[in-house]
Structure 1
Amino acid sequence: MNRKWVIIGVVLIGIVLLAIFIYFNQLRYPALPADVESTPKEVVQKLNESDQKLVEISKDDEETWYIMKNEDVNEQIKQLISSKGWIFKNIDGNGLFFEKDDEVLIVSTEMWTGNYRLVKVPAHF
């Protein structure tokens, strides 16, 4: 009977250690968009080590992805985009609409976790 309890104890300790390992590694964050080559853990670390509110995590010919903490999201985006001469027009759902020289720029946000939001900005920004 003692052997049975030792086996149960070892299994339970293994489960707890596995749960701790998963929690402290990248498995606790959801997947990032396919264009982002960093791991979720690296992206969060990059933001936490930065003094910027929005941190670029991926850029290609079509779009740039940023990550930010889930605080004053729309205001931070407005400041970033307006700094390049774009004029804020309105918000519709998860999209922020800007205009400049008869062009329209749509910046979209995506809730990534309860603490972080992803921001997608088209390349012509």
Structure 2
Amino acid sequence: MKNSPWKFVLIGFGGAAALFLIAAVLYANSIGMSNLKRMYVLETTDRQIVEMGADERGIPQYLAKLNRQEELLKERMSREGWTFAEQEGSGYFFEKDGRKAIVTSRIWNHRYVIFKVSGDTVDLARAESRDAG
């Protein structure tokens, strides 16, 4: 019985598809389904920042696209009445009514940035939803 070259092509294609599926599942598992949903919202809507919840210390976190993140952060804080004071590394310092707020940024997943806002100073995602309404 002759082996058809098409059998090898089909087996190779099936193996490649299986490897692609395994890689996709591993990627989704490493990121987390909730974060995939947040990324989807950023990519398919006009929202620029979405809330991620608090970290292990209770500090609010927000996810944004990596493009123009510095201007976006300063704009959002300004809308809430905060004045930009200075930047040191990944920390942005703001002032309002004698209070100080620190927002740190961290590049995540090569296309997104995570902002962490010290204390309960401002909700960056709420500032956006108010403007849309």
TM-score for the superposition, normalised by structure 1: 0.72
Tell me the secondary structure at the aligned position of residue 44 of structure 1. helix
CA distance in 2, matches of 1:23, 1:80: 37
Tell me the alpha carbon deviations over residues 6-65 of structure 1, each in whole angstroms, 9 at most, x when there is no partner.
89x85x656523432244446168547xxxxx5331221122233121122225894321
Contact 1:22 1:28 in 2 (8 A): no
Which of 72, 76, 81 is matched with 1:76 structurally? 72
Identity of aligned residues (%): 25
AA matched with 2:48: K
Structure 2, unaligned runs of 5 or more: 122-133
Tell me the secondary structure at the aligned position of residue 64 of structure 2. strand
TM-score for the superposition, normalised by structure 2: 0.68
Which of 80, 85, 90 is matched with 2:81 structurally? 85
Q: What stretches of structure 1 move > 4 A for 4+ residues in a row?
A: 12-15, 28-32
Structure 1, unaligned runs of 5 or more: 33-37
Which residue of structure 2 aligns with residue 19 of structure 1?
Answer: 19
Instruction: Choose between structure 1 and 2: higher helix proportion.
Output: 2
Q: How many residues align?
A: 118
